[in-house]
């Protein structure tokens, strides 16, 4: 029997999000916490949010860029669940008072037209299942003090999921060379970072192949109609009240938001 209180930790992290209060990482007092237990806590956290009346709208992949994987010294990306309350419209407002210490990153996202299930998913299955491609910005807001976490901690914390600013232009995937698309992240009209679709495991469909396999291990699947974020292409940058933040992706267009109190 492990002494890890899965439900207690899920409540602890959910309370941290609701109270906008950063907490110490779980592995500080529980260094034996495993990745599997991290996902168990995440699953319990999802249950709490479902009971609170929120709906899962998709998933996000995280740590899919070489830079982030090297920094974290890991070989495998992680995933988290996205909820309806996290979605922000293009050119909308991001309310700072609802968050702890948010950072923004540019990502390519997909709206799925078909379910994707099982361990044997291949690139072509993902391509076939994508209905639309769109530019998004993810707001990561780790509930841990100073984003200080180990892998099982961040997984338990729903992989830092906080908000998603959805692009308003939906592009069909056919004919797009997604890995070659240039991406810029600007704050107050100044380009702060850039990259290309290849930053995420070489091609944005690769994280989705991986997500399908990882979900299958827990008896879950990617659902038709869901939104899937393929992972930060740019660095995650801190933002402050008054900032106007935008991401432009070749072929896919622009998405922006304003940070308010
Ligand atoms: C974990 C989430 C990382 C991404 O796109 O790589 C992530 C974190 O760094 O807080 O969302
Ligand atoms: Mg991300």
Q: What is the CA radius of gyration of the chain?
A: 17
Q: How far apart are CA 107 and CA 195, in angstroms?
A: 10
Percent of the chain predicted with pLDDT > 90: 94
Ligand 1 is surrounded, with C-beta below 6 A, by 60, 62-64, 68, 105, 138, 140, 142, 147, 154, 159-160, 231-232
Mean pLDDT, range 43-63, rounded to an integer: 98
- Of 235, 246, 176, which is closest to residue 205 (Cα–Cα)? 176
Mean pLDDT, range 190-205, rounded to an integer: 97
Encoding tokens for residue 202? Answer: 């070489």
Q: State which ligand 1 atom lies nearest to the alpha carbon of 142.
A: 10
* pLDDT the model gives residue 2: 62
CA of 133 to the centre of ligand 2 (A): 16
- Of 236, 237, 240, which is closest to residue 96 (Cα–Cα)? 240
Q: What is the chain's mean pLDDT, rounded?
A: 96
CA of 103 to the centre of ligand 1 (A): 10
pLDDT in tens, 213-243: 999 999 999 999 999 999 999 999 999 999 9
Q: How confident is the model at residue 110 (pLDDT cuts 50, 70, 90)?
A: very high
In the chain, at which residue ranges do the beta strands (DSSP E only) sit? 56-62, 78-83, 87-88, 92-95, 103-112, 130-140, 161-166, 182-187, 190-196, 227-229, 237-238, 244-249, 253-260
In angstroms, the Cα distances linking 197 to 123, 134, 230, 245 are 15, 12, 10, 20
Q: How far apart are CA 75 and CA 189, in angstroms?
A: 35
- Of 243, 62, 73, which is closest to residue 161 (Cα–Cα)? 62
From atom 8 of ligand 1, which residue's Cα is the shortest distance away?
160
In DSSP notation, 158-214 reads GGGEEEEEE-S--B--TT--GGG-EEEEEETTEEEEEEEGGGBTTSTHHHHHHHHHH
From atom 10 of ligand 1, which residue's Cα is the shortest distance away?
160
CA of 198 to the centre of ligand 2 (A): 15
Is 3 a residue whose pLDDT tops 90? Answer: no
Percent of the chain predicted with pLDDT > 70: 99
pLDDT in tens, 39-49: 999 999 999 99
Candidate from 73, 100, 140 with most ligand 1 atoms within 8 A of CB, to mutate: 140
Q: State which ligand 1 atom lies nearest to the alpha carbon of 232.
A: 5
* pLDDT the model gives residue 153: 98
CA of 69 to the centre of ligand 1 (A): 10
CA of 227 to the centre of ligand 1 (A): 16
- The predicted model scores a pTM of 0.97
Mean pLDDT, range 53-60, rounded to an integer: 98
Q: How far apart are CA 90 and CA 257, in angstroms?
A: 6
Q: How far apart are CA 203 and CA 196, in angstroms?
A: 9
Instruction: Give the dihedral of Cα atoms 4, 5, 6, 9; nearest 10 deg.
Output: -110
* pLDDT the model gives residue 207: 97
Q: How confident is the model at residue 1 (pLDDT cuts 50, 70, 90)?
A: very low
pLDDT in tens, 251-260: 999 999 999 9
């Amino acid at each position: 029997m492990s002494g890890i209180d899965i439900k207690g930790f899920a409540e602890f992290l959910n309370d941290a999000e609701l109270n906008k209060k950063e907490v110490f990482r779980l592995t500080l007092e529980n260094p034996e916490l495993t990745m599997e237990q991290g996902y168990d806590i995440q699953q319990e956290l999802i249950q709490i949010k479902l009971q609170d009346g929120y709906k899962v709208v998709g998933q996000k992949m995280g740590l899919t860029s070489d830079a982030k994987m090297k920094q974290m010294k890991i070989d495998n990306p992680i995933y988290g669940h996205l909820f309806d309350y996290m979605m922000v419209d293009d050119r909308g407002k991001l309310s700072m008072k609802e968050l702890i210490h948010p950072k923004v990153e540019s990502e390519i996202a997909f709206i799925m037209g078909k379910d994707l299930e099982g361990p044997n998913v291949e690139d072509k299955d993902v391509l076939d299942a994508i209905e639309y491609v769109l530019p998004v910005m993810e707001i990561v807001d780790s509930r841990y003090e100073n984003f200080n976490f180990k892998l099982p901690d961040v997984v338990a914390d729903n992989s830092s999921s906080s908000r998603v600013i959805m692009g308003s232009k939906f592009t069909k995937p056919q004919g797009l060379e997604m890995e070659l698309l240039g991406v810029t992240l600007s704050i107050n009209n100044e380009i702060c970072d850039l990259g290309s679709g290849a930053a995420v495991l070489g091609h944005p469909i690769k994280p989705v192949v991986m997500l399908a396999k990882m979900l299958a291990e827990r008896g879950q699947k990617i659902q038709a109609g869901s939104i899937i974020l393929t992972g930060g292409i740019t660095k995650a940058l801190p933002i402050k009240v008054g900032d106007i933040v935008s991401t432009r992706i070749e072929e896919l267009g622009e998405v922006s938001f304003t940070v308010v109190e």
